[in-house]
């Protein structure tokens, strides 16, 4: 399941079985397709926890709701403190430039409150083929 941006804000997923989506379609030719999900949720490890073991050059496959698969290759991995993320938003999530898949999750030290974790893991991949 996915949730889209509402009123300019990327919503927090309701659990580990859900991701939020923003930007270009998976088959896009320009700009970022952004998928964000939890690293963990209520004590359970989420699928986005794998972003913390991501390696450049690895392939990522995303399937759309019809089952069509899209392949991407990881080219950039960044760990960004939450307060620094807005200054890099255009670089990571912008609608211009080559088409790319941007996967985002939280992690690092647990701060709690509204912030949750101190950092975000951002994994950027380019289309294969």
Q: What residue segments make up the domains of the chain, in order of their start? A: 2-127
Query: Residues 6 or more apart from 7 whose CB is under 8 A from it?
Result: none
Look up the pTM and report it. 0.88
Model confidence pLDDT, tens digit, residues 13-68: 777 888 888 889 999 999 999 999 999 888 889 889 999 999 999 999 999 889 99
Contact 32, 24 (CB under 8 A): yes
Pairing state between β 40-41 and 44-45: antiparallel
State residue 3's pLDDT score: 47
Q: Which of 118, 123, 113, 105 shows the shortest CA–CA distance to 38?
A: 105
Position 5 scores a pLDDT of: 52
Structure tokens that stand for 26 in this block? 């998976």
Q: Which two tokens stand for residue 106?
A: 């939280």
Report residue 32 as tokens. 């970022």
CATH number given to 2-127: 2.40.260.10
Residue 85 is predicted with a pLDDT of 87
Give dist(CA 102, CA 100) in Å, integer.
Answer: 6
pLDDT for the residue numbered 113:
76
CA distance 16 to 14: 7
């Amino acid at each position: 399941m996915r949730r889209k941006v509402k009123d300019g804000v990327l919503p927090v997923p309701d659990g580990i079985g859900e991701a939020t989506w923003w930007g270009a379609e998976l088959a896009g030719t320009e700009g970022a397709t952004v998928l964000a999900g939890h690293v963990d949720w209520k004590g359970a490890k989420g699928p986005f926890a794998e972003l913390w073991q991501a390696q450049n050059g690895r392939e990522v496959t995303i399937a759309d709701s019809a089952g069509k698969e899209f392949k991407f290759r990881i080219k950039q991995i960044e760990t960004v403190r939450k307060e620094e993320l807005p200054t890099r938003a255009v670089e990571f999530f912008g609608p211009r430039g080559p088409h790319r898949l941007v996967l985002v999750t939280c992690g690092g030290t647990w701060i709690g409150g509204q912030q949750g974790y101190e950092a975000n893991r951002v994994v950027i991949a380019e289309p294969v083929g």
